[in-house]
């Protein structure tokens, strides 16, 4: 079983929709959770970063962590065509240097 599972999609939504992207994980030692956005043929770009459980908001983006369910989410409000990209979740433990990535969800926002 992979340590981090992410639905690959693809996900297609109309402009202005609320998008929900999710990851599940199996290792309760994960403490730090990240979301990356990757445009086609580019490197991943760090979007959101949270520690432990709870919510974090940054503009149209909200990251949510539920450690009891081992489930993390990224919500995008008022989605724009420029949000069309692949979204990767990642997580790491309190110690050590390894990051564990989901395989990414491909999102298309249709004008």
Partner 1 sequence: NAGVTQTPKFQVLKTGQSMTLQCAQDMNHNSMYWYRQDPGMGLRLIYYSASEGTTDKGEVPNGYNVSRLNKREFSLRLESAAPSQTSVYFCASSEATSGRAGQFFGPGTRLTVL
Provide the binding-site residues for partner 1, judged by CB under 8 A.
8, 32, 34, 36, 41-46, 49, 51, 88, 90, 92-99, 101-104
Euclidean distance between CA atoms 101 and 111, whole angstroms: 30
Q: Which is nearer to partner 1, 17 or 32 (CB)?
A: 32
| Shortest distance, position 32 Cβ to partner 1, whole Å | 5
**Nearest CB to partner 1, comparing residues 42 and 77:** 42
As a whole number of angstroms, the distance between CA 30 and CA 52 comes to: 8
Angular region, 106: left φ>0, alpha ψ -120 to 50, beta rest = beta
Question: For 62, what's the count of Cα atoms within 13 Å in the CB-facing half-sphere?
Answer: 9
Report in angstroms how near the CB of residue 97 gets to partner 1 at its nearest: 5
Strand duo 11-14 + 105-110: pairing? parallel
Nearer to partner 1, 19 or 47 (CB): 47
- Cβ closer to partner 1: 21 or 34? 34
């Amino acid at each position: 079983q992979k340590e981090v599972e992410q639905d690959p999609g693809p996900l297609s939504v109309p402009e202005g929709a609320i998008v929900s992207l999710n990851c599940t994980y199996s290792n309760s030692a994960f403490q730090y959770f990240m979301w990356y956005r990757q445009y086609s043929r580019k490197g991943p770009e760090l979007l959101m970063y949270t520690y432990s459980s709870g919510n974090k908001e940054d503009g149209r983006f909200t990251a949510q962590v539920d450690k009891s369910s081992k489930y993390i989410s990224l919500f995008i409000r008022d989605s724009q065509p420029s949000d069309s990209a692949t979204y990767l979740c990642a997580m790491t433990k309190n110690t050590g240097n390894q990051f564990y990535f989901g395989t990414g969800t491909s999102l298309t926002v249709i004008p």
